[in-house]
Structure 1
Amino acid sequence: MSDPSALFDEILGAVFDDVAPKPTSYQASHIKRKRASREDMEDRRRALWNIVLEMKPMTVRQVFYQATVRGIVEKSEAGYNKVQTDLVQMRRSGMLRYDWLADNTRWQRKPRTFDSIEEALEDTARFYRKSLWTDAGAYVEVWLEKDALAGVVQPVTAKYDVPLMVARGYASLSFLHGAADYIASLDVPTFIYHCGDFDPSGVNAGEKIEQTLREMAPAAEIHFERLAVSKGQISSWNLPTRPTKATDSRAKGFGDISVELDAIEPQRLRDLIEAAIQRHLPPEQFKVLLAAEASERELLKAFVGQIGAP
């Protein structure tokens, strides 16, 4: 890759004049505030751009946490607003690619349609995936507390054909029932890896998921592990903390500090999940299955070619 700073300078030179704050007339204020200079803003956006370039895809909140540990912005609501505003302007100006930031909270439902049977078969051949877990002797799910982070970890779960279950904090009873019903139908052990905030509600939400799944699928062999965030990760990775909310009814006895899942570096989170999956689908076995998938995809393409031939 070429020098990231040089690449940023090239983009910056083309677009910064369009995104720098324009002078506006306001009535004089009695409060003296230090306005960020063009150089200050340029330096901050350069630093944010480098963070996203290195760790993409990531959420805006993840960018904020990485900016705080590097001393780019203060760890406060004002610091978050700076990051959020910068990232909006950087994307709108073309300085930052939209697909480098993940947002899974807004999405569209639309059935896939085709103009012909041949087109449908071509699409099937292009996206054909072989079931990687048929002979694995285990079933694996990754549970995620935050919908916004789904786009960050989905590249890993999709790669390994592992379901990504987005609970959005406390999972609904209907969602849990559907998951438990499928687990109960399996004749292999189920391994569930949960990722959530280290705070009273986040920890309790994971515990409730485990408890309810065990109640609803009592005969199933379920192995449940809280993958992140853990106390050990907070200290060994020096994760940025925040005070535990005193208003949380479960805060008593929890401790003074809490840590959001977003505080973990995106690639570190992806690596953590991938390592957990690989306990059950070793890399060599994965390579063999991918080779078989590629071979079967070529067979499908050949079949489509025969149908389309005159």
Structure 2
Amino acid sequence: MRPRPATQRLLAAVDAVLDRYAAQLPLTIRQIWYSLISDGVLVKQERTYKRLVDILGMARRSGRVQWETIRDDTAISAEPVVYAGPRDFQAALLDAAGEYRLDRQAGQDVRLEVVTETAGMVPQLLVVAEPYGVPVYSGGGFGSLTGKRAAALRAAAARQRAVRIFVVSDWDQSGVHVYSALAEDVTAFAAVDAPGVRVDVERLAVTEQQIAEHQLPTAPLKASDRRSFAGTSTTQAEALPPDILAAVLRDAIEAHRDLDVLAAVLAREEVQRQDITRRLRQMGDTPPDSPGPRG
């Protein structure tokens, strides 16, 4: 890759964005684009987005930009799990033991979930939500009736009195429809499949207040979309800076957490993790090809 001076300047600006949001990596290309717009590097036009896609594609191919810093969600894969042998399997078990988790929402009054309209933002939001045991789902999964009913079934299985679903979606006709349809359908399904469980759906981002407070870039309404919408302009959720979105989600989760209860769960989790690891190491002391005990 031999970039021209203008491309070099753009890549330097991309480097600055990736450094600024190092704690929220990987970012989607659209998040990088909105950051560059906010920084005054690019104007909000579709041609600048397409140019950024092309340049980042070349930069990633050449090694100029690390693959791991940008999130791609266009491919779906299913690969078989294989091992080199028994010792490799034992090592995999030890790695799995290191990820041992209890239900970190156990004992809380409200069970929390997060839904994001943009699939590429799931890993980024999970970085914030995972320490609390809060799952993150893409809006695509919730777009179907099956996905919405699954939320009601999870509410029933959790055996908690209330469930709150945080929604991250665009501020436009489609994003508002995702929120309202989710609230209506999950509540209806819960009335049948999880009677006695209160379901609340809260729009976490992006909101009109956040758009004004952070001066997020806007676009005109889509004339082709006739669904009701109270706004006079639109803004994508990815326009909200990743660190601000992370703080918004963390504050929302902690507002509904008893941190003492969570600390007790984490303490039990650590004791059990160490015990499982110790037992697996003891099993590993036995040669994998040795015969078992004779009856």
Matched, 1:92 2:61: yes
- Please tell me whether the aligned partners of residues 104 and 149 of structure 1 are also in contact (alpha carbons under 8 angstroms): no
Structure 1 pair 169–160 and aligned structure 2 pair: CA distance change class (3 A): same
Q: How does 1:7-156 map to 2 (within 5 A)?
A: 18-20=1-3, 38-55=4-21, 56-114=25-83, 115-116=85-86, 118-119=90-91, 121-156=93-128
Aligned residue-pair number = 275
Matched, 1:244 2:213: no
Aligned to 2:249: 273
1:216 to 166, 189, 209: 189
Q: CA deviation at 1:211?
A: 0.3
Q: CA deviation at 1:164?
A: 1.0
Aligned to 1:199: 172
Q: CA deviation at 1:247?
A: 0.9
Cα distance in 2 for partners of 1:300, 1:281 equals 28
* Residue identity (%): 27
Structure 2 residue matching 1:89: 3-state secondary structure: helix
Structure 2 residue matching 1:63: 3-state secondary structure: helix
Which runs of 5 or more residues in structure 1 are unaligned? 1-17, 21-37
Structure 1 residue matching 2:225: 3-state secondary structure: coil
Letter aligned with residue 103 of structure 1: D
Bigger drift between 150-159 and 70-79 goes to: 150-159
Structure 2 residue matching 1:243: 3-state secondary structure: coil
- Please tell me whether the aligned partners of residues 103 and 151 of structure 1 are also in contact (alpha carbons under 8 angstroms): no
Structure 1 pair 111–139 and aligned structure 2 pair: CA distance change class (3 A): farther
Cα distance in 1 for partners of 2:147, 2:230 equals 28
Q: CA deviation at 1:254?
A: 3.0
Which runs of 5 or more residues in structure 2 are unaligned? 287-295
- Please tell me whether the aligned partners of residues 104 and 133 of structure 2 are also in contact (alpha carbons under 8 angstroms): yes
Bigger drift between 42-51 and 145-154 goes to: 145-154
- Please tell me whether the aligned partners of residues 104 and 150 of structure 1 are also in contact (alpha carbons under 8 angstroms): no
Q: CA deviation at 1:139?
A: 0.8
Q: CA deviation at 1:47?
A: 0.7
Q: CA deviation at 1:292?
A: 3.5
Structure 2 residue matching 1:258: 3-state secondary structure: coil
Cα distance in 2 for partners of 1:71, 1:50 equals 13
Cα distance in 2 for partners of 1:243, 1:169 equals 28
- Please tell me whether the aligned partners of residues 128 and 297 of structure 1 are also in contact (alpha carbons under 8 angstroms): yes
